[in-house]
C-alpha cells in the first residue's frame, strides 16, 4: 500500500512539467524522455493495483464465513489485557 502511494506521488510530480515539444531536436528528446518516464510509472502503478486487487480478493476469500466484529468490542478486549 505504501509503494502504491509513493508511485502515485511520483506520477503527480511528473505530470506538471510535461510540456509538448517545441519543434527542436532537444525539445523532442526531452519530451520523449518524459513520456517514457510517465509510461513506466503508469506500468508500475498498474502492477501495484493488480497486486492490491489480488490481496483484496484473497482476504475476502479467506474471510468468508467469518462474522463481522465491531472494532469497539475488540478494543475493549485489548484494554482489559
pLDDT tens string 33-65:
888 988 998 899 999 999 999 999 998 888 887
The string of pLDDT tens digits covering residues 13-36 is: 666 565 666 777 777 787 888 889
Does the predicted model carry a pTM greater than 0.75?
no
* DSSP codes, 34-65: HHHHHHHHHHHHHHHHHHHHHHHHHHHHHTTT
Q: Report pLDDT for 51.
A: 93
Q: Report pLDDT for 7.
A: 66
Q: Report pLDDT for 32.
A: 84
- Domain coordinates in residue numbering, the chain: 2-80
Residue from 42, 35, 33, 36 nearest 4 by CA: 42
Amino acid at each position: 500500500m505504501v509503494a502504491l502511494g509513493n508511485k502515485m506521488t511520483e506520477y503527480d510530480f511528473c505530470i506538471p512539467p510535461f510540456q509538448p515539444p517545441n519543434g527542436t531536436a532537444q525539445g523532442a528528446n526531452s519530451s520523449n524522455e518524459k513520456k517514457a518516464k510517465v509510461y513506466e510509472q503508469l506500468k508500475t502503478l498498474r502492477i501495484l493495483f493488480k497486486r492490491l486487487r489480488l490481496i483484496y480478493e484473497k482476504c475476502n476469500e479467506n474471510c468468508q464465513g467469518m462474522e463481522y466484529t465491531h472494532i469497539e468490542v475488540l478494543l475493549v478486549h485489548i484494554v482489559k489485557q
